[in-house]
Chains A and B, each alone.
Chain A
Amino acid sequence: MTLLQRLGTFDRRRVRIVTVALAAILVMTIAEVITGTSDLTSRSTASAAFRLAIPILLAGLGGLYSERSGVVNIGLEGMMIAGTWFAAWGAWMYGPWQGALLGIVGGGLFGLLHALATVTFNVDHIVSGVAINILGLGAMRFLSSIVYTPETGGSVIQSPPVQGIANIDLPFLAGGTIFGWDTPDLFGWLENQGWFFISDIAGIIRGFAGGINWLTLIGLAIVPLTAWLLWRTSWGLRLRSCGEDPWAAESLGVPVLRMKYYAVIISGMLAGFGGAFLVLVQAGIYREGMTGGRGFIGLGALIFGNWMPTGVLGGALVFGFGDSLRYRGPEVVRSFILAVAIGLIAFGIFALTRSKIRTAVIQTVIGAAFLLFYLQVEEVSNQLLAAVPYLITLLVLAAASQRLRMPAADGARYAKGEAR
């Protein structure tokens, strides 16, 4: 099947995903109209959500390689921390692009360590991952204490400010320039028309396409690249076979240990890239704890995305949106809570029409609770806002975890030449 044919086939799952996404935007637009805020689907929210989604996406894709080869990678967070540190150091010493490269290398080194522990020494994957997280934090703090001395303007917990990587506007879609020629700004124009729903969607797309960062583009490009590499090449088939049944793969001559090494190192490199993104695009500085569990949220995106590249992208966007809400202030969170309430109740009624009474009742009750919260609470406090992305991750996983299928031999201890 050619790519065009594949794009042309509307399988039901894809249609459903698009429908759900559109319905979610519709509900949020309605919530905006009720609350009188326009920030929930605005360009700035979309653009922030998008920017925040990329590190989660990269961590999730990292997890994808590793877990598709059968190695559970809880150490993504530690690898990401290494990425942030090395990216900041590289950018400070040499320049932003070198920083990105060093961030990838730094994450890859910790990936190598995880591979050494889990693949060669057969340590329990979660134990090794936990150890990597502890070691990553400690090692970076030690390096900071040596490198970022007070004379440099840094300290044990942060680097001096570093130069980031610049943004560009995409031509035609968002009025970017090609060789000095200003192209028309299609979605910007649509957004400014003020048409209900259509302008909201245009605003979201305009948010994606305007002021986009090089690293964002590269990060996005890794999604189709990964899909092609893992599902369209024999290398990918071998890698995935190690995650499904390493013993069978071994009997067919696949170098299982080597494939796992590749996968886990790539995993660390992607997580490191995610860390580099945080430093070079979002913060312009390394701060201890700046990853804030995004490596773990990336794992959440991986699970939510059913261990598929496009699924990880979807998960990352959902969690990136959750992450962006806390920066948009309490007003937006309040209208988001209303949107959740409307969505849940609508879904409950939908379930009722399909006579799934139990689901309907649960959905409606939870929706009513959200509605009550919206009506009672005038302002969501700043401290509670910090919990929003994690809460959303947890709720989404609780809602989605059941129909998922992870690689069959994910997390299995495998030693060459031994029986299963």
Chain B
Amino acid sequence: MKSGKLLTSVVAPLIAIIIAFGLAALALLLVDINPITAYKEMFVFGTSTESLIITVNNALPLFVSALAVGIGFKMGLFNIGIEGTYLIAALFAAYIGAQFSITPVLHVTAILLVAVAVGAFWAWIPAMLKVKRGVHEVIATIMLNYIAFALSAYLFLNVFKAESSSLTIATDLIPETGWIPSLNPVLGWFGIEARAGANLYGFLIIAIFLGIGYHYLVNKSRYGYDLRSSGVNAAAAHASGVDPKRMIVRTMLISGGLAGLVGIAPLLGFYHQYPQDFPRNFGFNGIAVALLGRNHPVGMAFGALLFGFMQRSSLILDLKDVPKEIVTIIQGIVVLAVVIVYEVISRYVQRRVVAAAARATEAEHATVEVAA
């Protein structure tokens, strides 16, 4: 059984990735582009030291976003609202973080707390709508995404935007005490020298802790047990004393809190202010990463790295006259393929388990008969 589980959770994503790259290769062939050279270009460009650092940087927000989605998925709760949540949270964190300056660690902690609080509040709205008014969380969180886009645009332009006459439209710069330092010096200890412009985000440390915390919360805590049992069989969980409404509210709050941290890596590691073109799509891609990683922290880390790698390495394609949008196709197919392949493999494994059990009982019968 254990080996079967490992088989499905490792093999399924691998097959899905192969299918996705294969179908994308077909799409490229259709438009007269040699997929092998295109993929080779991506690989060569994507594995330089700078590219690998940026791959990790790209992966960090996706990983946190996937954690936020994954915790909901564990109980069958779909928080599609990460996208809007992290934009609002990052905006508030940037604005409030720029208002004061205290000792470095405390300042960063304060900014993180603001982001978590705003994210949790934004996710609390659909939780309340579901618990009190029976509005399905998928619809509610999607509507709240659009509302968040509008609200953050309004707040940014009318309230939070800096007065300064600099060229970029952005909030005030956060004082240096509120920055998360780069990990490049640490890389230097290992003899890895990166060129300027590629700074490994210090948020990596926080992300690793978040991943470990996620593992303990989901797999080792009372709450995690309730969470998983609600996901497997909501009726049974309810009967055993798990209050479904409380679970929904708590899970949405945790999910929203995590979502609040999605934008922190680029905010405190690179921008140090909220610019008008703050990066988008971490929320939607985070859903894809969560599906790819089967809601498992290690799986999601790999998924995030894969997406981060594709995002970085696709940059070379434009120079080689290959549409870099091929990457969005790969990402789309990989998500659909992974859920289908997982379903197929787990059915196959289940059938094998059932067959083995049947053989075992038959054999037992046979020995009993012989004995008689």
Which residues of A have CB within 8 Å of B328?
137-139, 141-142
**Is B326 part of the binding interface, using a Cβ–Cβ cutoff of 8 Å?**
yes
Which residues of A have CB within 8 Å of B183?
none
- Given A127-B291, A135-B336, A383-B154, A299:B139 Cβ within 8 A: yes
Shortest distance from the beta carbon of B24 to any chain A beta carbon, whole Å: 9
**Is A4 part of the binding interface, using a Cβ–Cβ cutoff of 8 Å?**
no
Which residues of B have CB within 8 Å of A131?
288, 291, 332, 335-336, 339
| 4 closest A-B pairs by CB | A135-B332, A138-B328, A387-B150, A145-B323
**Is A398 part of the binding interface, using a Cβ–Cβ cutoff of 8 Å?**
yes
Complex: chain A residue closest to B142, CB-CB: A296
14 contacts between A and B (CB under 8 A): A117-B336, A117-B339, A123-B343, A130-B80, A132-B336, A134-B332, A136-B332, A137-B332, A144-B325, A145-B323, A296-B139, A296-B143, A387-B147, A399-B133
Within 8 A of A (CB), among B282-320: 284-285, 287-288, 291
Interface string of B130-154 (1 = CB under 8 A from A): 0001111011101111110111011
Which residues of B have CB within 8 Å of A297?
143
Q: Is the CB of B291 within 8 A of A300?
A: no
CA distance A4 to B328 in the complex (A): 54
Most chain A Cβ neighbours within 10 Å, of B27, B147, B151: B147
Shortest distance from the beta carbon of A400 to any chain B beta carbon, whole Å: 9
Within 8 A of B (CB), among A299-329: 299-300, 303
Interface string of B328-344 (1 = CB under 8 A from A): 11011101100110011
Shortest distance from the beta carbon of B193 to any chain A beta carbon, whole Å: 36
Give the contacting residue for A300; candidates B133, B143, B324, B329; CB below 8 A.
Answer: B143
**Is A394 part of the binding interface, using a Cβ–Cβ cutoff of 8 Å?**
yes
Q: Is the CB of A74 within 8 A of B335?
A: no
CA distance A141 to B328 in the complex (A): 8
For chain A, the count of residues having a C-beta within 8 Å of the partner chain is 48
Q: Is the CB of A384 within 8 A of B151?
A: yes
**Is B370 part of the binding interface, using a Cβ–Cβ cutoff of 8 Å?**
no
Q: Is the CB of A135 within 8 A of B335?
A: yes
Which residues of A have CB within 8 Å of B157?
383
**Is B158 part of the binding interface, using a Cβ–Cβ cutoff of 8 Å?**
yes
Shortest distance from the beta carbon of A333 to any chain B beta carbon, whole Å: 13
Q: Is the CB of B158 within 8 A of A383?
A: yes
Most chain B Cβ neighbours within 10 Å, of A116, A136, A381: A381
**Is B78 part of the binding interface, using a Cβ–Cβ cutoff of 8 Å?**
yes
Within 8 A of B (CB), among A365-404: 381, 383-387, 390-391, 393-394, 397-399, 401-402
CA distance A55 to B139 in the complex (A): 17
Which residues of A have CB within 8 Å of B154?
381, 383-384
CA distance A122 to B339 in the complex (A): 10
Give the contacting residue for A386; candidates B149, B332, B333, B347; CB below 8 A.
Answer: B149
Q: Which of A's residues lie within 8 Å of B, judged by CB?
A: 74, 113, 116-117, 121-124, 126-128, 130-132, 134-139, 141-142, 144-146, 156, 292-293, 296-297, 299-300, 303, 381, 383-387, 390-391, 393-394, 397-399, 401-402
Give the contacting residue for A139; candidates B144, B158, B332; CB below 8 A.
Answer: B332
Q: Is the CB of B329 within 8 A of A397?
A: no
Shortest distance from the beta carbon of A341 to any chain B beta carbon, whole Å: 20
Which residues of B have CB within 8 Å of A296?
139, 142-143
Give the contacting residue for B138; candidates A74, A122, A139; CB below 8 A.
Answer: A74
Shortest distance from the beta carbon of A240 to any chain B beta carbon, whole Å: 21
Q: Is the CB of B291 within 8 A of A142?
A: no
Give the contacting residue for A146; candidates B31, B147, B288, B335; CB below 8 A.
Answer: B31
Q: Is the CB of B158 within 8 A of A134?
A: no
CA distance A336 to B168 in the complex (A): 36
CA distance A267 to B291 in the complex (A): 24
CA distance A401 to B132 in the complex (A): 10
Complex: chain B residue closest to A138, CB-CB: B328
For chain B, the count of residues having a C-beta within 8 Å of the partner chain is 46
Shortest distance from the beta carbon of B201 to any chain A beta carbon, whole Å: 25
Shortest distance from the beta carbon of A318 to any chain B beta carbon, whole Å: 14
**Is B356 part of the binding interface, using a Cβ–Cβ cutoff of 8 Å?**
no
Complex: chain A residue closest to B69, CB-CB: A130
Complex: chain A residue closest to B328, CB-CB: A138
Which residues of B have CB within 8 Å of A123?
339-340, 343
List 17 extra interface pairs beyond A135-B332, A383-B153, CB under 8 A: A122-B347, A128-B336, A131-B332, A131-B336, A134-B331, A135-B336, A141-B325, A144-B325, A145-B323, A156-B323, A293-B145, A293-B146, A296-B142, A386-B150, A390-B146, A393-B139, A397-B129
Which residues of B have CB within 8 Å of A113?
336
Shortest distance from the beta carbon of B195 to any chain A beta carbon, whole Å: 29
Give the contacting residue for A134; candidates B149, B335, B347; CB below 8 A.
Answer: B335
Q: Is the CB of B339 within 8 A of A127?
A: yes
CA distance A180 to B127 in the complex (A): 59
- Given A113-B336, A123-B343, A134-B335, A142:B325 Cβ within 8 A: yes
Complex: chain B residue closest to A136, CB-CB: B332
CA distance A384 to B149 in the complex (A): 9
CA distance A134 to B290 in the complex (A): 13
Complex: chain A residue closest to B134, CB-CB: A401
Q: Is the CB of A303 within 8 A of B136?
A: yes
Which residues of A have CB within 8 Å of B158?
381, 383
Give the contacting residue for A393; candidates B78, B143, B339; CB below 8 A.
Answer: B143
CA distance A298 to B331 in the complex (A): 26
Q: Is the CB of B343 within 8 A of A134?
A: no
Shortest distance from the beta carbon of B63 to any chain A beta carbon, whole Å: 17
Which residues of B have CB within 8 Å of A141?
325, 328
Q: Is the CB of B139 within 8 A of A398?
A: no
CA distance A131 to B157 in the complex (A): 33
Within 8 A of A (CB), among B194-217: none
CA distance A68 to B299 in the complex (A): 36
Complex: chain A residue closest to B326, CB-CB: A142
Which residues of B have CB within 8 Å of A130?
78, 80, 287, 291, 335
CA distance A134 to B307 in the complex (A): 14
Give the contacting residue for B339; candidates A124, A146, A303; CB below 8 A.
Answer: A124
Shortest distance from the beta carbon of B285 to any chain A beta carbon, whole Å: 8
